[in-house]
A and B are shown apart, each in its own frame.
Chain A
Amino acid sequence: MADVVGPDEVAARSARYLRARTGDWLAEIGRISMMIGEMLTTGVQRLPSLTLVVQQMAAIGVDSLWLVTVVSVFTGAVAAVQAAYQFTSVVPLKFLSAVILRSVVIELGPVLTALVIGGRVGASIAAELGTMKVTEQIDALRAMGINPVRYLVAPRVIAAVVMLPILTIYADAIAIFGGWVVATTSVGVPSPTYLQGLREFFYLKDIFSGILKAVFFGGIIGTMGCYSGFQTEGGAEGVGKATTSAVVSSCVLVLVLDYILATVLFRVVFK
């Protein structure tokens, strides 16, 4: 017969579990902060190689273009269909492009781009660095007197911070194009009306907000990918866990930070 545990014991066990988990999270935050600190201090002492940064920009940005294109064109298309459905008999369709523009530029463009790049690039960075860790390549760098944070982490984080805003601007344009295709071909909005809506509701602060979010999201994706890779232990199983951890933590942090930035930007800065 299974042991019966009383409510006091359940409460005590829950408290112990919560204390242990809180300790783990704090330790994790501490380690991430130390890695960021080391990246900044070593980066100031000696700038990361431009060649490495450009290589990473190509891997993170150029190689992700096809994925961002597909995601964005359908994001715009779905936004057009959904908005048209919700506007029915309530809002004139001439506002369709304005809704697509502002929702894409402020929210959908940066967040969806960050989520797909977090999946593709975060996983790839964590798997690459995790494999380097378990095959002693990171130890080999240290043994040569090369700081692995400066050599491996800094170029990836810089590349992600630079490329995410560029990909986001590209994603915005493609999504608005996707919305235009659906609006003009199946919803019945004339092309001049769609374009006029874009012109009338184009605000620089919206673009700025989206780009600022993308900068932070790039930092999260690069940092969490590298951090998870550096924490890898064991063999193939460890690399798998690091990859999953990089994607999950990037996506969760992107959404949490999205809320924080939205609050700061639209309730404080642009109020």
Chain B
Amino acid sequence: MIEIRDLARQLGGRRVLDGVDLDVQKGETLVVLGPSGTGKSVLLKHIIGLMQPDRGSIKIDGEEIVGVRPNEMDRVRSRFGMLFQSAALFDSMTVGENISLPMLEHDRAMSADERERRVRERLEWVGLKGVENMKPASLSGGMRKRVGLARALALDPEYILYDEPTTGLDPIMSDVINQLIRDLQAQLGVTSVVVTHDIKSANEVADRIVLLYQGKVMFSGTPEETATTQDPMVRQFLAGSSRGPIQPV
């Protein structure tokens, strides 16, 4: 379980996170919705310790991670997988090397055969075959995201963080990614946090949706509650209207 309390962070003189309180239950897929520039990705980076808050607390299964030593944080991170918005594949490596890197670094006792088997298996999970020796530059956007997801799954994570998983993809590939997120939760029981502004994607993958605006959680509810709420911010966001309480940045 992830427990976030009073998380605040200022960037470039702007209060990006301003007292975020949020719980992510074990096995749940939580979608964080919100307009661009409201700190959704910043929130994810705090959860995995890539950024340190100005104040507040983040607990992973009861263990505080704010201010812990780098070695301790690396141990916590090995329980996480993260899919970056741009997939962030290492372009000097092949697809297979990208996926096997976390295994090489964290489980040096693992044999090369076992690593290769796991790479093939992860690629099959995300619907890719025979791409182990390709370089990321020769992959399409959707393939890159799926390889990024396969890499995030390399160490059997308990938590997966998705940063805009469907941004820049065509509707069919977006649906493939959404289905993968659902399948991974069903089959592996992972806890997921998905940051997006894609409402269709949010409705397809979420157990619960929160709306982040002006550095705070403004709404929290199931997809059904989100669809029927009279909260003016949620209504404006779902309608995609420029008029309402949410001001474009």
Interface set of A (CB-CB < 8 Å, partner B) = 45, 128, 132, 135-137, 139-140, 142-147, 151
Contact = CB atoms under 8 A, between A and B. Distances in A.
Given A136-B85, A136-B88, A137-B88, A143 B105 contact: no
A45 B75 CA distance: 14
Contacts of B106: 144-145
Nearest to B84: A136
Contacts of B90: 132, 137, 140
Nearest to A132: B90
Contacts of A142: 48-50, 77
Contacts of B155: 144
A144 B84 contact: no
Contacts of A144: 77-78, 101-102, 105-106, 151, 155
B77 A140 contact: no
B192 to A, nearest CB: 15
Contact of A139 (B50, B70, B105): B50
A151 B48 CA distance: 19
Contact of A146 (B75, B88, B92, B101): B101
Given A137-B90, A139-B50, A145 B78 contact: yes
Contacts of A136: 84-86, 88
A135 B88 contact: yes
A144 B74 CA distance: 8
Contacts of A128: 92
A45 B72 CA distance: 13
Interface string B67-84: 000110111011010101
B182 interface: no
Interface string B90-115: 11100000000110011000000000
A257 B85 CA distance: 43
B235 interface: no
Contacts of B78: 144-145
Contacts of A143: 48, 50, 77, 80, 82, 84
A137 B78 CA distance: 17
B77 A139 contact: no
